[in-house]
Amino acid sequence: MPTKKVLIILSDATSFPLKKPAGSSGETAKTVDQPSGFFLMELAKPLQKLLDAGHEVTFASPKGQEPVPDPNSESLAAFAGNFYERRRENELLERMKRENGFSRPRTLASISNDELSTFAGVFIPGGHAPLRDLGDDKELGRILRFFHEENKPTAAICHGPYALLSTKQAGDGTFAYKGYKITAWSDAEEKVMETILGGEIEKVESSLRNEGAEMVTGVGEKMGQTTLDRELLTGENPLAAGQLGDRFVRMISV
């Protein structure tokens, strides 16, 4: 299998906005910064599959800042208590820091359309961080429109599909994926997080549906099934990371 280049888009954000309601004891409503970053397994599992297939990855983000993991994704609970799996995935990212510039991603603006033509696909992992800076980034909109117009494989998981909204900031200002079937972190799942965190969070599913996406969610998607529509591959939550990685590798290996 020939080596191909894959672009992995990461958020620069280390938090996302959490809207706290007014309290019964007189506290005023306010928005706080809730710590976040990339979700470890949503990045590591597809990344490992790309590397195992012999492909070359390039990391990029809006400002080129060092990515940080979502604290929740580093807990043993996120790995169902599998200490060894968590260690393998952390070791993979440590290797990427040493060998592949993970600590110093390319800025999105530094990647020209001519260079984009050398990439076989683009992947955006989740974690809540994309809610902060990817949905309205004009350079990301340019990049995603390029892959969309060239019909090149594009994958996103969990909160990653929120980044697709950036296509409204580039080109003709429309949402490039209107009418696409998309799976993302559901409103129902986000409402569970809101209960845990005690505040309101921007909804990925509703935001995409409001722009004309056909959202696909159900028991299968919650258990790790993925959705493919034309060049776009999406998954709902961390359980989809393995299948998404396998399907994405097959897409770019054609």
- How much is the mean pLDDT over the chain? 95
Residue whose structure tokens are 């129902």: 188
Q: How confident is the model at residue 80 (pLDDT cuts 50, 70, 90)?
A: confident
- The pLDDT of residue 103 is 96
Q: What is the pLDDT of residues 53-67, one digit of tens each?
A: 999 999 999 999 999
Instruction: Give the H or E element holding residue 142.
Output: helix 138-149
Residue 228 CB: number of other CB atoms within 10 A?
16
Segments of 177-244 assigned E as strands = 181-182, 214-215, 226-229, 232-235
Mean pLDDT, to the nearest integer, of 244-251?
98
Task: Determine the residue type at 234.
Answer: T
Instruction: Please say whether the beta carbons of 73 and 41 come within 8 A.
Output: yes
Q: Give the list of residues 6+ apart from residue 183 with CB closer than 8 angstroms, or none.
A: 161, 215, 216, 217, 221, 225, 226, 227, 234, 235, 236, 240
**pLDDT tens digit sequence for 2-30:** 899 999 999 999 999 999 988 766 678 89
- Please state, in angstroms and as integers, the Cα–Cα distance from residue 49 to each residue in 43, 54, 238, following that order: 10, 9, 15
Percent of the chain with pLDDT over 70: 98
- Quick check: 189 pLDDT over 80? yes
Residue type, 239: L
Task: Give pLDDT tens digits for 34-48.
Answer: 999 999 999 999 999
Instruction: Determine if residue 179 is left, alpha or beta; phi over 0 gives left, psi from -120 to 50 gives alpha, anything else beta.
Output: left
User: Model-level pTM greater than 0.85?
Assistant: yes
- pLDDT grade, residue 221 (50/70/90)? very high
CA nearest to 103, candidates 143, 56, 69? 69
Confidence tier at 143 by pLDDT (50, 70, 90): very high
The class that CATH gives domain 5-18+33-253 is alpha beta
Nearest residue to 96 (alpha-carbon basis) of 36, 44, 39: 44
| pLDDT for position 25 | 66
**Sorting pLDDT into bands at 50, 70 and 90, what band is 201?**
very high
Q: What is the pLDDT of residues 103-131, one digit of tens each?
A: 999 999 999 999 999 999 999 999 999 99
> What pLDDT is attached to residue 1?
64
Residue 75, pLDDT above cutoff 90: no
Q: Output the CA–CA distances (angstroms, integers) from residue 33 to 30, 192, 207, 236, in the order listed.
A: 10, 18, 20, 24
